[in-house]
Amino acid sequence: MKFEHKPVLLQECIEGLQIKPDGIYVDGTMGGAGHSIEIVKRLSSEGKLIGIDRDEEALKASKERLSEYKNVTYIHDNHDNIKEILRKIGMNQVDGILLDLGVSSYQLDERNRGFSYLGENELDMRMDKSQELTAKKVVNYYSEKELANIIYEYGEERFSRQIARNICNYRKEKTINTTKELVDIIEKSIPKAKQNDGHPAKRTFQAIRIEVNNEIKPLYNTVKDCIDCLKPQGRLCIITFHSLEDRAVKNAYIEAKGKCTCPSDLPYCVCGAKTLGKIITKKPIIATKEEQEENSRSKSAKLRIFEKI
């Protein structure tokens, strides 16, 4: 299958980055180069794009799509390691960073990756296929309590306890190997009358995917690391698709902005509050009605932008 990923909030991201032709930019979630190609088009030969992705298939597709551009560096790694990545290539600071979090359309559609609840495939869900933890291990070896907590917190699934209990009961008799087996367990755990908000397995699959790829826990620190890696007036654009992701980004931005605690009647600040920059988006940018109609994935997308001082 061809690696295709329709970029969400594309124009808004490009405008938010305020691209300089000779600047250095990082696409920390390169995917199929949907955002990257629009960044590199705006760069001169002196400019540079660094593309990072933990999915080797994504990087391969990006290299093919951007083959005519010689000012692109491709790195197979996790954007959570951005400081170390940039240090290794001798670039401590850059002009802009883009993160498009979550799973790509290709990963969902490529059924053998195990991200999709449609069909019958191996339980995998790894974005980086070299890592050890898989969905199969999570489903078969996590405790009932751990499973219930993950499904509730990351999937916002109100039937998380029933699903976790039924997973554990099922695996006493047989290892859960496929996506279809897991879907069947989930469907039997949710009353038919309550299965009216999309596919009943959607939230549980999302939760397990987030756990497998550790998408939430490091995010707050990753945002702070990205801000540290920006040059003055450099911009960080982050697209989220989950409330926990958005909260982590929002809170990291607020901390980086800093807050003066001095009484309002003082003529100048004496509390020593420090700021790393300003939040450009007081409220997150969401997709237009037209984009939401064309690309259903954009419905839950939120873009937040930070500028370093």
Digit-coded pLDDT (tens) for 44-92: 999 999 999 999 999 999 999 999 999 999 999 999 999 999 999 999 8
* pLDDT the model gives residue 162: 98
What is the arrangement of strands in the sheet containing 24-27, beginning at the earlier edge strand?
Answer: 72-76, 48-53, 24-27, 94-100, 230-240, 302-308, 277-279
* pLDDT the model gives residue 3: 55
Residue range 116-158, pLDDT digits in tens: 999 899 999 999 999 999 999 999 999 999 999 999 999 999 9
Q: What is the pTM of this model?
A: 0.92
Q: For residue 284, what are the contacts with CB-CB under 8 A and spacing of at least 6?
A: 240, 246, 250, 302, 303, 304
Q: For residue 183, what are the contacts with CB-CB under 8 A and spacing of at least 6?
A: 117, 200, 201
pLDDT, averaged across the chain = 94
Separation CA 125–CA 193 (nearest Å)? 29
Enumerate residue ranges in the chain where pLDDT < 70. 1-5, 104-111
Q: For residue 156, what are the contacts with CB-CB under 8 A and spacing of at least 6?
A: 203, 243
* pLDDT the model gives residue 105: 63
* pLDDT the model gives residue 108: 66
Contact 230, 97 (CB under 8 A): yes
Separation CA 36–CA 33 (nearest Å)? 5
The domain ranges of the chain are 10-102+216-308, 108-212
CATH topology of domain 10-102+216-308: Rossmann fold (3.40.50)
* pLDDT the model gives residue 267: 82
- CATH of the structural domain 108-212, one choice from 3.90.10.10, 3.65.10.10, 1.10.150.170, 3.10.20.30: 1.10.150.170
Beta strands per DSSP E along 72-216: 72-76, 94-100
